[in-house]
Amino acid sequence: MRLASLLEYEGTDFHGFQSQEALPTIQGEIQQAFKSISINLDSFNYSGRTDAGVHALSQVFDFETSVQRGKEEWLNGLNSNLPRSIHIKDIIEVEDNFHSRYSAKERHYSYLIYNGKSKPTFFENFVHWDNSSLLDIDKMNTSAQELIGEHDFSSFRSSHCGSKNPIKTINKISITQHESFLILNISANAFLHNMVRIIAGTLIDISKDELKISMNKLIEEKDRRHAGKTLPAKGLFFLGPRYDTKLKINSPFADVLSIFKK
């Protein structure tokens, strides 16, 4: 049978999701937790490979097993062997042909910006701090809407991006404000490496008139050198994918600030 799990984690102390030899990763911790409960994984797929420092509220991974256990037994056994910064929230049986990555129809991210004069000491690992008084949320939203649709996003990919196809489709994008927090919410069928972080940095630069070019023009240029800075990984949250299956993920743009209320 095939099981799928919803996973949340703080990425601060990890070198990304994917396993790397001799480095702490989310996948490495999960696989070690399975070994601790005497489970040898026959397969292991995941919905998105997050970079070092990136967080997740609903990462999904699936695996094949012949072991029969109840949901609570799975959750208690695995979570008791994971560090406090990683937590499996749910686990359910899915169709045999389910694949966390290839079955996903859409992926959702949020980028969290703290716009204030004082450094957000207690949020240091979760936000990008910008102390400028010039951030214009209306201007950022107007520019962001130019990204909606299917485009070649070569201007918004890192030089290390390994994707063979730079054409992606952004379905929704918006910037909302809650006191000193600005939250960039974005949904797309898939993302290029560092795409959300470059978009966020470009929107800030446009807002402050440090970058005098439209998003439409940047799309046309297909040149990373013309876009804005890449913001730090720590402000990025993977909210999870959307599937046309019984695996449902609640409210993709649930208030990311809720992590501070736990």
- Type of residue numbered 76: N
CB of 96 closer than 8 Å to CB of 177: no
Provide the greatest CA pair distance for the chain: 59
C-alpha of 55 from chain center: 7
Separation CA 226–CA 211 (nearest Å): 9
- Annotated catalytic residue, options 13, 51, 96, 209: 51
Which long-range contacts link 32-40 to residues 24+ away (Cβ below 8 Å)?
32/81, 33/78, 33/79, 33/81, 33/82, 34/63, 34/78, 36/81, 37/77, 37/78, 37/81, 39/65, 39/67
CB of 99 closer than 8 Å to CB of 62: yes
Q: Is 51 a catalytic residue?
A: yes
CB of 111 closer than 8 Å to CB of 130: no
Enumerate residues 6+ apart whose C-beta is below 8 A from 122: none
Residues involved in catalysis: 51
